[in-house]
Structure 1
Amino acid sequence: MVVDGRRGRVARRVLGAVAALAAVALVGVVIAVTFANRIDGQSMSPTLRDGDRILLEPFFEPADLRRFDIVAARPAPGTLAVVKRVIGLPGDAVRIDVRPDGEASVLVRPAGADTWSVVDAPVWTENWHDARQCCAADGKLGAGEPVVPAGHVFVLGDNPSQSDDSRKYGWVPISEVIGRMSWRLYPLDRFGSLDPSADMRLIEL
């Protein structure tokens, strides 16, 4: 009976520890979802959809920005944050060509490179209508092949026809990048990490 009593105490302690860990994990999930960034609108659809809850990468440093990162940023100091994808980095030349049939191509000449590359983004094929030529010297709509200035990036939405991005705001200051989107927490059927390299790539011309 003494042995059985000890076993019972051990079992209760184990169950108590498991229950405590489960409670802590549940609280952590609730807090994460509560404080995650809610996506409003369709400018990043279908990659990010209206109502998605996205967690920003912890300990993110703006200097660590990579091409195709999905970021939350203020287009200018004091403005509301938007969620967009980084296309052009400092020193890159960028342009958007529009063919007579309305199809658009986004081209980037990476800093230090001699040749242009086209952004291969299948998601844009179905989500880009009424495209207009870009970009002017300030990164907005217009004709030219401007170079992204130091300390800035050129951003686009994954749903270009419904996105206010650099074509409207111009170059976005890196100092105004709040964070990089890392995990989708909700809805649960789409839970997982966001891998920018899985959605887009550069193809040298």
Structure 2
Amino acid sequence: MILLPVVAVALSGLAVVAWLRRRFVLVEVSGTSMRPSFRTGDRVLVRRVPSHGVRVGEVVVIEAPRPRGHQPGPERKWHIKRIAAVGGDPVPARVADAPALRGADRVPVGHLVVLGDDPRSSLDSRQRGFVPADRVLGVVLRRLPPDGSR
């Protein structure tokens, strides 16, 4: 008789954990492109969102472009960037002269302009052009405290 409630609680707990894992992910920052906002070693909580669920100013985690000739495999690289424009928006004036964006008036539907906070060390839309919105993993909700602190 006691076993049934215990099993029910355990299954409920597993369902909650599964839901959380589908909705949220922890990402460790590597690189300097988002300094001073984020630094190497920072851990961030990311909420998975559909590609149409991002807004200008949000920091997102996106799948890095694969080099030409790269064979698809299980390894995926991620970049953390700030959304500067979404599909249908005008190309932001501050990057309109960037080689990869030159000549474009508007961001194509289904694409984004993403920028690092440190333009000197960021590989972003200034060099790579528009990013397909379906490469978005999610929106950064917050930086988490370092391991061992509260």
Using the size of structure 2 for normalisation, the TM-score is: 0.67
Q: Give the match's secondary structure for 2:49.
A: coil
8 A Cα contact 1:94 1:135, kept in partner? no
The alpha carbon displacement at 1:50 in A equals 1.2
Does 2:130 align with 1:167? no
For the aligned residue pairs, the C-alpha RMSD in angstroms reads 2.8
Identity of matched residues, %: 33
Q: 1:80 to 1:146 in 2, by over 3 A?
A: farther
Instruction: Return the structure number with greater helix share.
Output: 1
Instruction: Map 1:16-165 onto structure 2 (within 5 A).
Output: 36-57=26-47, 59-76=48-65, 80-96=77-93, 106=94, 134-135=97-98, 140=100, 143-165=102-124
In the alignment, residue 89 of structure 2 is paired with which amino acid?
D
Q: C-alpha displacement at 1:180, in angstroms?
A: 0.7
1:138-159: CA deviations, max 9, x gaps?
Answer: xx15x43531001000010001
Contact 1:53 1:187 in 2 (8 A): yes
Output one character per residue of 1:88-133: Cα deviation in whole Å (capped at 9) or x when no partner.
111112244xxxxxxxxx27xxxxxxxxxxxxxxxxxxxxxxxxx7
Query: Which residue identity lines up with residue 37 of structure 1 in the other structure?
Result: V
- Paired residues in the alignment total 119
Per-residue CA deviation, residues 30-59 of structure 1 (Å, 9 max, x unaligned), is xx9xx62110111000111111000111x5
CA distance in 1, matches of 2:63, 2:126: 14
| Structure 2 gaps, min length 5 | 1-16, 67-71
**Which of the pair has more CA radius of gyration?**
1
CA distance in 1, matches of 2:105, 2:146: 39
Normalised TM-score (structure 1): 0.51
Q: Does the 8 Å contact 2:98/2:127 carry over to 1?
A: no
Q: Which has the higher contact order (CA 8 A, sep 6+)?
A: 2
Aligned equivalents of 2:65, 2:30: Cα separation in 1: 19
Say if 2:43 and 2:146, in contact at 8 Å, map to a contact too. yes
Q: Which amino acid aligns with 1:50?
A: T
SS where residue 91 of structure 1 aligns?
A: coil
